[in-house]
Amino acid sequence: MAERFDQYARQSLRLAEKAAKRLQVHLVDTEHLLIGLVQDEGIAGQILRQAGLDYWKTLHATEKKPRKDEPDSGKVVGVSPGIKIVLELAVLEARLRDQSKIGTGHLLMGLIRYREGVALEVLVSLGIKPRKMRKRLRQALIEAIQSET
């Protein structure tokens, strides 16, 4: 499935793994993906920064949340079940828009649609309204499709 992700989405996933290592957890989870996306130069990063988020603010909000797993040596060994669901939702978002590549906008939409993830808790704790962000993101994805044609 990795080949379906565009370069920005792959970079965001690498940054998510880096964030998990920094926070010394062994599974990449939704909050780590949020940290990766806020650093993105594409649609997701733009929307998150327009909403007032940045890397440090997101990292600190993530650190405040209770951990699901115990801190370890920082060696990431896999991804959480939540991330797998977010990736499936991102694939679905791309399919719904008839797009062959999955970008960071699709990943962010998957994060917002996945209601059980810590990422959504982090967004809400930072004053972000998921419904408003989803609307803004939908519009950005529509504009991206129109600019491709």
**CATH number, domain with residue 90:** 1.10.1780.10
Please write the tens of the pLDDT for every residue from 41-84: 889 999 999 999 999 999 999 888 776 655 555 576 789 999 99
pLDDT exceeds 90 at position 147 = no
- What mean pLDDT is predicted for residues 105-112? 95
Stretch (H or E) spanning 123: helix 118-125
**Total of domains in the chain:** 1
Calculate the average pLDDT of the chain: 88
Tokens of 16: 């998510």
Q: Taking the C-alpha atoms of 129, 132, 138 and 142 in order, what is their torsion angle to the nearest 10 degrees?
A: -140
Domain span at residue 23 reads 2-148
